[in-house]
Chains A and B, each alone.
Chain A
Amino acid sequence: MIARAPFLRVAVPLAVGVGVLIAWEGLVRFYQVPAFLLPAPTAIWQAFAANADNLMVSLWVTLKVTLAAFALAVVGGVGLAVLFSQNRLIEMALFPYAVVLQVTPVVAIAPLILIWVGLDHAERALLILAWIVAFFPMLSNTTLGLRSADHNLRDLYKLYGASRWQTLTELQLPSALPYILAGMKISGGLALIGAVVAEFVAGSGTSTGLAWRIIESANRLQIAKMFAALFLLSGLGIAIFFALTLLEHLTLRHWHESAVKREN
Chain B
Amino acid sequence: MPPLLTPAPSLLTLARVGKTYDDGTPALAGIDAEIARGSFVSLVGPSGCGKSTLLRIAAGLTRASEGEVRWQDGARPANLGFVFQDATLMPWARVFDNVWLPLKLQGIARKTAGPRIMAALSLVGLAERADAFPRELSGGMRMRVSIARALVTDPPILLMDEPFAALDEFTREKLDDDLLTLWRDQGLTILFVTHSVYESVYLSQRVLVMGTRPGRIVEEIVIDAGYPRTAFRESPSFHAACRAVSSALRKGVPA
Q: Which residues of A contact B (CB under 8 A)?
A: 150, 152-153, 155-162, 166, 170-171, 174, 177, 254-256, 260
Contacts and interface: CB of A to CB of B under 8 A. Distances in A.
Contacts of B8: none
A255 B105 contact: no
B180 interface: no
Which of B56, B80, B101, B153: most chain A Cβ within 10 A? B101
A170 B153 CA distance: 19
A158 B61 contact: yes
Given A152-B84, A159-B60, A260 B135 contact: yes
B92 A162 contact: no
Complex A-B, nearest 5 residue pairs according to Cβ-Cβ distance, in ascending order? A152-B88, A255-B91, A160-B105, A152-B84, A255-B92
Contacts of A174: 90, 92-93
Contact of B88 (A150, A162, A170): A150
Interface string B104-138: 11100000000000000000000000000111000
Interface of B: 56, 59-61, 78-80, 82, 84, 86, 88, 90-93, 101-102, 104-106, 133-135, 153
Contacts of A155: 56, 61, 82, 84
B101 A160 contact: yes
B86 A152 contact: yes
Most chain B C-beta atoms within 10 Å of own C-beta, residue among A174, A254, A260 = A254
Q: Which residue, A157, A166, A171, A255, has most C-beta atoms of chain B within 10 A?
A: A255
A159 B82 contact: yes
A162 B102 CA distance: 9
A153 B105 CA distance: 13
Given A152-B88, A171-B90, A160 B61 contact: no
B82 A254 contact: no
Contacts of B82: 155-156, 159
Given A152-B86, A153-B90, A156-B82, A255 B106 contact: no
Contacts of A161: 78, 105-106
Contacts of B79: 160
Contacts of A166: 105
Contacts of B91: 255-256
27 contacts: A150-B88, A152-B84, A152-B86, A152-B88, A153-B90, A155-B61, A155-B82, A158-B61, A159-B59, A159-B60, A159-B82, A160-B78, A160-B101, A161-B78, A161-B105, A161-B106, A162-B105, A170-B101, A170-B104, A174-B90, A254-B133, A255-B91, A255-B133, A255-B135, A256-B91, A256-B92, A260-B135
Nearest to B59: A159
A128 B61 CA distance: 46
A254 B82 CA distance: 26
A131 to B, nearest CB: 29
A216 B238 CA distance: 89
A171 B105 CA distance: 11
**Most chain A CB inside 10 Å of its own CB: which residue of B79, B90, B133:** B90
A198 to B, nearest CB: 37
